[in-house]
């Protein structure tokens, strides 16, 4: 079986060399196009990093909110990671100011008081009773 694997690898390497030689023969414009196609393919097929989810968790933003809750209490804040982009009482202005900083999708949230687990369960019970 080992010999078969080596044979397949040699054929694959020969094919790869042929592909590389063909790519080198392309015009500069065709090479750029090939590069874009390969980059797109790599981005789509790249496995997620170990231990990190494939979706945004906003850990840095949550840590920033925790550390600066008292300073910005009641205000809207726009963050990019742990960087404050803008803040204020008008969410639209805060968002637009953050976008003007070049951040396409800023994390925007109103700074609220910290609610611990026991208070959260009281709120849940109160809200569910008021709906009846």
d(CA 85, CA 74): 17
The encoded tokens of residue 97 equal: 């100011």
- Is residue 80 within 8 Å of 91, Cβ to Cβ? no
Using alpha carbons, select from 65, 64, 61, 59 the residue that is nearest to residue 114: 65
User: What is the pLDDT, as a whole number, of residue 40?
Assistant: 83
Domain edges within the chain:
2-45, 59-117
Mean pLDDT for 84-104 is 95
User: What is the pLDDT, as a whole number, of residue 16?
Assistant: 78
d(CA 84, CA 78): 6
Distances (CA, A) of 121 to 32, 53, 79, 112, 126: 57, 28, 29, 17, 9
Phi/psi at 18 (5° precision): -65, -40
**CB-based contacts of 80: which residues, under 8 Å, 6+ apart?**
98, 101, 103, 106, 107
d(CA 20, CA 14): 10
- The structure's pTM equals 0.50
- pLDDT tens for each residue of 41-90: 887 776 655 666 778 889 999 999 999 999 999 999 999 999 999 999 99
- pLDDT tens for each residue of 14-43: 687 888 888 899 898 888 888 888 888 887
């Amino acid at each position: 079986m080992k010999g078969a694997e080596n044979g397949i690898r040699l054929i694959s390497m020969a094919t790869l060399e042929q592909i590389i030689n063909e790519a080198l023969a392309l015009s500069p414009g065709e090479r750029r196009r090939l590069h874009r196609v390969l980059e797109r393919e790599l981005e789509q097929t790249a496995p997620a990093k170990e231990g990190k989810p494939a979706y945004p968790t906003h850990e840095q933003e949550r840590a920033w909110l925790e550390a600066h809750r008292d300073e910005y209490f009641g205000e809207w804040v726009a963050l990019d990671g742990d960087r404050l982009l803008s803040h204020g009482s008008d969410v639209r202005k805060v968002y637009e100011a953050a976008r003007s900083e070049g951040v396409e999708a800023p994390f925007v949230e109103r700074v609220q008081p910290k609610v611990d687990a026991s208070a959260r369960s009281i709120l849940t019970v109160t809200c569910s009773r008021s709906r009846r």
